[in-house]
């Protein structure tokens, strides 16, 4: 009888997913849903290099851009729950997109396993130099005289850039045309070329262009000043009181990912985010360290859905397929 029980235990343990003691035994894929050169890609490169050293296995950044991060989200949501494919994404693919897509290929709240928040990020309202406004107040006044004329680029429907633009339009009483791209980087190219007039760009993607004078920064979408963009006020304090929209990024796995692997990843990520060099690289890019537990990320994902559904309703955003 004892031998039978032991045999059943051994057989059962063999059928279990890889545990934290044997995982990882091969490279891990870190899937991102936005084009190379954007803020998600930047964070992925920083995190993956240190995570690879910690795990003693390659961590491969796999880019699957499009649909506001949904393509990458679906890849991970449908992946085996063995810890070898995880998602790094901004809040849209982690819940916010439920507010603007009529049909989601997966349910972020059911089909993803939260691991850890990584960073918080504000966006910055930047304009092509051909736009004459020098402040948020001047820009609002200009936009009101050009309803439906000014257009703004974003990293895709549901991205923080898109939602920032919609919230701004709603609160300022202006009408602008949204032009979605497969990431912030290609949108930035068209902003520099004058194909779009403005963006609510992530700070890492905007810093060098602002400093070089190729774009003009008018205001930050968050509630705090940025050490990376000294002298740029918040939108709320410089022309649109009450305006605030702060984005975030987190890492999640497929549904049913073993708790031992979630704990291992969470512990390693929090350790990496606490390292002086990592913190410096992230904060120098204009981002803020997040970290925390899987439970905190799960709560953030749920809150993201509530906030974005409310925003979409108030801004009159029509859901897209």
In words, the CATH class of domain 27-119+246-315 is alpha beta
Closest-CA residue to 20 (of 189, 263, 215): 263
Alpha carbon distance 287, 40 (integer Å): 11
Q: How many CB atoms lie within 10 A of CB 18?
A: 18
Provide CB contacts within 8 A for 38, sequence distance 6+: 155, 183, 184, 185, 202, 204, 205
pLDDT at 5 over 50: no
CATH topology of 27-119+246-315 equal to that of 122-220? yes
Taking a C-beta distance cutoff of 8 angstroms, is the pair 27, 58 a contact? yes
pLDDT value of position 6: 36
| Phi, then psi, of 247 in degrees rounded to 5 | -95, 180
**Which residue reads 């850890």 in tokens?**
116
pLDDT value of position 20: 58
- pLDDT tens digits for range 55-105: 999 999 999 998 889 999 999 999 999 999 999 999 999 999 999 898 899
Closest-CA residue to 191 (of 217, 225, 167): 217
Closest-CA residue to 203 (of 266, 286, 279, 130): 286
Taking a C-beta distance cutoff of 8 angstroms, is the pair 114, 100 a contact? no
Q: How many CB atoms lie within 10 A of CB 287?
A: 26
| Phi, then psi, of 266 in degrees rounded to 5 | -60, -45
Domain spans of the chain, in order of start: 27-119+246-315, 122-220
pLDDT value of position 19: 56
Homologous superfamily of the 122-220 domain (CATH): Periplasmic binding protein-like II (3.40.190.10)
- pLDDT tens digits for range 187-246: 999 999 999 999 999 999 999 999 999 999 999 999 888 888 999 999 999 999 999 998
Tell me if residue 290 falls in helix, strand or coil: coil
Indicate the pTM of the whole model.
0.85
């Amino acid at each position: 009888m004892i031998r039978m029980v032991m045999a059943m235990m051994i057989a059962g343990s063999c059928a279990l997913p890889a545990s934290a003691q044997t995982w990882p035994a091969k490279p891990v894929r870190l899937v991102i849903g936005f084009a190379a050169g954007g803020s998600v890609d930047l964070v992925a490169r920083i995190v993956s290099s240190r995570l690879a050293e910690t795990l003693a296995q390659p961590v491969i950044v796999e880019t699957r851009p499009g649909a506001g991060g949904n393509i990458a989200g679906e890849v991970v949501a449908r992946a085996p729950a063995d810890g070898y494919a995880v998602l790094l994404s901004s809040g849209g693919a982690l819940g916010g997109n439920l507010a603007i897509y009529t049909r989601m290929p997966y349910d972020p709240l059911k089909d993803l396993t939260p691991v850890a928040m990584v960073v918080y990020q504000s966006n910055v309202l930047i304009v092509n130099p051909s736009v004459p406004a020098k402040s948020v107040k001047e820009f609002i006044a200009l936009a009101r005289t050009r309803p439906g004329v000014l257009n703004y680029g974003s990293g895709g429907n549901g991205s923080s850039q898109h939602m920032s633009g919609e919230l701004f339009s709603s609160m300022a009483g202006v009408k602008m045309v949204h032009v979605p791209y497969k990431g912030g980087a290609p949108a930035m190219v068209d902003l520099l070329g004058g194909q779009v007039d403005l963006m609510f760009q992530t700070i890492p993607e905007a810093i060098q262009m602002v400093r070089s004078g190729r774009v003009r920064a008018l205001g930050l979408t968050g509630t705090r000043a940025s050490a990376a963009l000294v002298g740029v006020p918040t939108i709320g304090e410089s022309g649109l009181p009450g305006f605030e929209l702060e984005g975030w990024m987190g890492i999640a796995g497929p549904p049913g990912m073993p708790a031992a692997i979630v704990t291992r990843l969470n512990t390693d990520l929090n350790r990496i985010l606490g390292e002086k060099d990592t913190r410096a690289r992230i904060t120098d890019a204009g981002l803020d360290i997040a970290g925390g537990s899987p439970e905190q990320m799960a709560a953030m994902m749920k809150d993201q859905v509530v906030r974005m559904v409310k925003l979409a309703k108030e801004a009159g955003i029509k859901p897209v397929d």
